Structures are given as structure tokens and as C-alpha cells.
Structure 1
Amino acid sequence: MKTLSKIMISILVITAGLVAAAFIIINQPKFGKIPSGARLERIQKSPHYKNGRFDNLNNTPQLAEDTSMPEVMFRFLFGKKDQLKPARRFTMKKTNLKALPTDENVFIWMGHSSYYMQMDGLKILVDPVFSGNASPFTFTTKAFEGSDLYTADDIPELDLLIITHDHWDHLDYQTVRELQHKTRRVATGLGTAEHLEYWGFDPEIITELDWFEDAELGNGFSIHCEPARHFSGRGLKRDQALWASFVVQGPTQRIYIGGDSGYDDHYKKIGAKYGSFDLAILENGQYNRDWRYIHFLPGENIKAMKELNAKRMIPVHNSKFALAVHSWSEPLVRITELNTENLRIITPEIGDKVLWQDDARVYKKWWEAYE
């Protein structure tokens, strides 16, 4: 009996220690904050907030109906995993963002879903993650060697910082804190501003939108919040902030920023609503048939591009973090193979200067050098 009692006491002590450690970890500032007060009251009035959480427009299982969590975990742990990372370190050159002529319509990809744009003179940064990892723990989900070309110091004064949703690979605590002093305005989905205000951002510079809402930015610019098919959360409670796509309208250009999304009928509706886009930036990577409702499978981004009536597309959400079990270069290989209609799909290297209106430029298959 004494031995059994000692074992029980040991189990209780270990359990209590684990609970205490989890409590300390989850209460670190980088986990952000759940909406409260006036923001929560506004959220509760949203037609997209139901039963205590945001929801997609159409039924969206986290996992596909023909799979289960044990099956997913088994395949992830023991399934085939070839070339999750490049064969060698990336050796790419970064564009000096601060030296760019302000009148250039230019796009610079920073790996995964982080990118800088100048559009009709407006300086925009989307979902910057420069900390070297896409996780609450620095020893996991590390950036591929050489992919972290940019730091907050490289970023010029920003007219607009866009955060599409609050997942760790899109909203990075360290990065946005370092960018705070050089950001004039932030646009994000309803609820995400709770994190930003908790981290010290002035609420006066944050434009927080629900799906189908928009805001004027001045000087002929506006931003429109549109749906995406995904989810949110960076702690124990998910779907407390909205995931979104955005349309940025300028005097001469209209751009669609897709964020993270599985395929659904919202692309066709958005295309009909706006008529056409000069550029669409759509996710391409970190997919799996097990979670096919929340990320594009290969070719679905091309279908979305066509339904958006986009003249050009830049595929992102690849080449920096391994968040799925496909090879790191597969998304770029597949989108190139599936572009049988020779649509204008631009595939730049990280750090490359892209003048997206230059349709004569040919982009090499840069990933082949790292396979």
C-alpha cells in the first residue's frame, strides 16, 4: 500500500507540475489575448460568430470526413516524408526595400506568406514572420536555412500592415513588435486587434473588419474584407478571431490578398463582385487531403485565380516552413505543371524584385537548384 501511495503521490505531483508549466507557457504575451469588452460585444453581433466562435460560410470540417485524428497522426509520424527541406542552404539576394522608387508597383516575396508591396505609391506589408520560426517554441517549425533574408530593420516606413489571421505562421509576436514604431496603419479581421493592442499597438491605427466590410484609406485607396475558408487560434481556444482575405483598391491597381483558405464558392462571388484583379496572391503549399477544406490542393488555386478574373497570380505559403508532409518544392512543381493554359503565374525567388505589370519577364524554376 505504501508503494502504491508513493506512486499516486508522484503521479499527482508530476501532473500538477505539468499543469503549472502549461499555465505559465500559455500566459506568455506571445500567445496573445482572447477578445473581451467592447470588442467582444461587437464580435457577438457578427453574423459569422455562432455558438461562441467564428464559423465559415459553408460547412468546413477541420479534418476530411474520410479520415480521423489517429490516422492523421500516424501518417504524419510514420508516413513517407521526402525532402521536407531543401537539399542545401538558400543563397538568394534580397532587394533593398528602402531604396525602391516610390512610384514603382513592386512585389517582394519573403518566403511563406510574408511579402512587401508598393501599389500606386502605398507601402504594404502582409503577414510578416521574421523571427526564424512559425511556432510558440523556437526549437520547432524553423525557417529553412537562408530563407530568412529580411528583418524588421529592412522594412521602410509602412502605410499599411495587413494581418490575415492570427496563426503563428502569419502573426509573429517578435516581428510585429519590432515593426510597431514604423507602421502607420494596420488592417486585420475582427478580433485579431485584441492581440495587437495587448502587445502595445495604438488602437487608433487599427482598422478591424468583419467579412464584407470595408474602409477608406485616403488618397484614393480603400481596403475590403472578404471571406476565406480556414480557422484561427494561437492558444487553447480557437476561432475567436476572424480569418480573412482582403482586396486593396488603389487609383490604378486592384489586388486580392488571399490569406489562408481552402477552395469554396467565395472566389467566384468575389470575382463577380469586383470584376477583375490586376494581381491575386494565393496560397500554394502546406496542403494534405486530410485537411483539404482549409488549404488548397494542387490546382485549386489556379481554379480560384480564374474565378477571381485575376490577370496575374503569385503563389505563396511555401519555401520557408515545413507544415505538411509533401516535399518542400512540390507546390511550385505542381502549380507549374498544372498551368496548362499558360496563365500568368509568377514564381519569384525570395527577395526578388517583381514588377508584376511586366508580363514579358520569364521566371526561372529557381527551386530546381535546391532539390
Structure 2
Amino acid sequence: MSLFLSSCTAEFGTQPKGEYLKKIEQSPNYRDGEFRNLEETAVMTREQSKIAAWWNFLFAKYPNLEPPKPLPAVKTDLKELNKNEDLLVWLGHSSTLLQINGKRILIDPVIENYASPVSFINKAFSGTTLYTVDDLPNIDYLVISHDHWDHLEYSTVGFLKDKVKAVICPLGIRSHLEYWGFSPEKILEGDWNDHIKVDDILEITVLPARHFSGRFLSANKTLWSGFMFTTKTYRIFYSGDSGFGKHFKKIAKDFSDKKIDLALIENGQYNENWKDIHMFPEEVAEVGTILKAKKLMPLHSGRFALSTHSWNEPFIRLDKASLNKDYQLITPLIGQIVYLDKDNQTFSKWWESSSINGQKQ
């Protein structure tokens, strides 16, 4: 066990310490030694121990957790993308490459084939691993929402360390990044509702989410967040990992001066056992309505099985919940280009494909 831990020390990162910790302790969202949500939030919402819950999750058998055949995907040459085109490319789970107004933003990139400290846990679905770090283009801004393994991946961010202009993250993530060799001047961090004017074109607002953090035994020593990306042309929201909560109405009110062009919202890895910290698809649809978003695109599904629902259930339920809503539901393949200025672009219900399931659902 000690050999395993010593070999993984770097990947676990490190918690805030010293003067940096004293700065974090001044946050109104930090109390009694940890960050807190805006409303009471239980990581486990049913009466069972965390050990029992993890045991069941790791070793119990659940049907259809993974697709029976490789998922369809597109290998877009990311390095050849015209940087002056406003677009995004979903790389699976929450990893997204976003281009707006000449700025290239990479959100929560996990390019490795697993979302855990070891390669045999939380392995990626077949067909979803067509990209490697060598496929990534030059990035202006790397955005990290929180420090869980499926959002902050050591080898991916290590590769990007000297290839990005800056990293935007919530409080505390700096401790991991500096431990991994990032230059302090590259790290732009914020508390909830802080506005980070990264340049003359782009402003990124760090926003509340309802979740938790931690990479090993200690939880909530670093903050978790969503983001709003604002330019003169676009306003794009990313929820990060979040349960449903009152913060979405506050975000809608605070940003009511201008329409949200696209909402990237987590939709997957939900469970009644942890319903406070992840949303069910019907709640995702409600958030899209609350935000009055023009378009909604689901994330946090389609690459890893981190809960007990079937791999395609998040798409099926959100598609149904989005009927007659005012927003357009966007469901691209991994690697497919989504053009932000094209309202007539259509997307298939690829999760229903007979090539994956053997028959129509």
C-alpha cells in the first residue's frame, strides 16, 4: 500500500498551506476548516456509510453501465481549426474545447483513458479515446472547475503546463497546480461571483455550484465552481458539477442583461444516493429554462460510468425533458464541431444508433 501511495503522490496534488491557506480562510464560503455550499448539501443523501456506498458502486453489478459497442465519434483535427471561427468541440465527459472571439478555451480536460488515480478504475467507454494530448492545439485559457479526478487530470494538465497563457480556477486549485510546476503568475483564481477580466475581449466569472471537492481523504479544502464566459458577442455558461439549487436563479438574475447563448450543463452520474451534488436530467432541463438559454448542451456523460444508471439514460431522459422547451438541445458526437453562430445546425440522437445497441430503442 505504501508503495502504491508513494508512486501516486504527485497525482494526488496538495492542499493549501501557510499564507495561502490564511488567504483562503478569509473567503465567506470557507467556514470551520472547509468550503461550504450556499445551502445545506449532503454528499450522501441516504442512510448508509460512505464505505458501503463505495463498495456497492465499485463491485455491485448494474445493467448497461457501458455501451455494448464502441460509441460513434469524429476525429476532428483540432490544430487545424480556424481560430477566428466561433465553435466548440466536445471531447467527452465534461472536457470541451471552446473558441469565441479568437480565444481558445479548454474546459476540464481529461484526455487520459481513465478518470481515477489508477488505470483499472473508471475506464473510458470504447470508441471515446480517439484523442491524445498531442492532438490538442495551443490554448489561451485552461479552465478547471474543481479538483475531482474526472475534471482535473494530472497528465493532461501536466502536458499543458507550458502551452497555455493562463489557468482560470476557483480558490484552492492553485495549490495543486503550483505543486505540479505551474508558474504562479499563470494562475488566475477567484471566489464565487468574482469577475476575472483575462484580456480586453474576454471576462470569466467564477460562479457558485452545489458540489464538493477532494482528491484523496480530505474533502472541501479547495472550492468548486461553474463559470460564465462573456465577450461582446457571446455569453456562455458552464455549470461545472452541481446539484440543483437556488444558485441557478441567482445566476439568471445576475446575468439577465444579456441572453445566455449556450448553457453547458452537467447531465450524468446522478443517483438518489447523492442527489444533492448531481442533477437528474429533468432538473437539467429546468435549469436551461431558468437561465433562459438559447441552446443547452449536456456534459458529464458519454465517456465514463461514475454512477449506476445506464450509459445512455442521461441522453434519453434529457431529450424527453427538453420537448417543448424554449432552448435548442445540442447533442454532438465526441469530436463533432458545433458552430455557435449557426442556429440551424442539427444533431442526431446518436445514442439510439443500431450500430451501438444492435437495435433501435
**TM-score of Structure 1 vs Structure 2, range by shorter chain:** over 0.9
Aligned partners of 1:214, 1:39: CA distance in 2, in Å?
20
Detail structure 1 runs of 4+ shifted over 2 Å in the superposition.
20-26, 65-80
Alpha-carbon displacement from aligned partner over 1:221-242 (angstroms, at most 9, x marks no partner) = 1111110000000011111100
Matched, 1:309 2:286: no
Question: What does residue range 1-371 of structure 1 map to in structure 2 within 5 Å?
Answer: 18=1, 20-21=2-3, 24=6, 28-65=9-46, 69=50, 72=53, 76=57, 81-275=62-256, 276-342=259-325, 343-369=327-353, 370-371=356-357
Aligned partners of 1:273, 1:195: CA distance in 2, in Å?
31
1:205 and 1:69, CA in 2 relative to 1: closer, same or farther beyond 3 A? closer
After the TM superposition, which of the residue ranges 352-361 and 161-170 deviates more from structure 2?
Answer: 352-361
Matched-pair contact (CA < 8 Å) for 2:72–2:334: no
> Alpha-carbon deviation of 1:21?
4.3
TM-score (structure 2 length as normaliser) = 0.93
> Alpha-carbon deviation of 1:91?
4.1
In the alignment, which residue of structure 2 is the partner of 1:5? none
Residue 342 of structure 2: SS of its match in structure 1? coil
Aligned partners of 2:331, 2:72: CA distance in 1, in Å?
16
Alpha-carbon displacement from aligned partner over 1:111-170 (angstroms, at most 9, x marks no partner) = 000010101111000000111110001111111112022222111111110000000000
For the aligned residue pairs, the C-alpha RMSD in angstroms reads: 1.7
Amino acid at match of 2:6: I
After the TM superposition, which of the residue ranges 345-354 and 271-280 deviates more from structure 2?
Answer: 271-280
Amino acid at match of 1:213: D
Aligned partners of 2:174, 2:55: CA distance in 1, in Å?
36
Residue 299 of structure 1: SS of its match in structure 2? helix
Matched-pair contact (CA < 8 Å) for 2:72–2:333: no
Amino acid at match of 1:280: A
> Alpha-carbon deviation of 1:69?
4.2
> Alpha-carbon deviation of 1:260?
0.2
Aligned partners of 2:200, 2:338: CA distance in 1, in Å?
24
Amino acid at match of 2:104: K
Percent identity over paired residues: 42
Aligned partners of 2:26, 2:265: CA distance in 1, in Å?
30
Structure possessing the higher radius of gyration over alpha carbons: 1
Amino acid at match of 1:310: A
Aligned partners of 1:204, 1:75: CA distance in 2, in Å?
43
Residue 198 of structure 2: SS of its match in structure 1? strand
Matched-pair contact (CA < 8 Å) for 1:289–1:297: no
Query: Could you list the runs of 5+ residues in structure 1 that have no partner in the other structure?
Result: 1-17
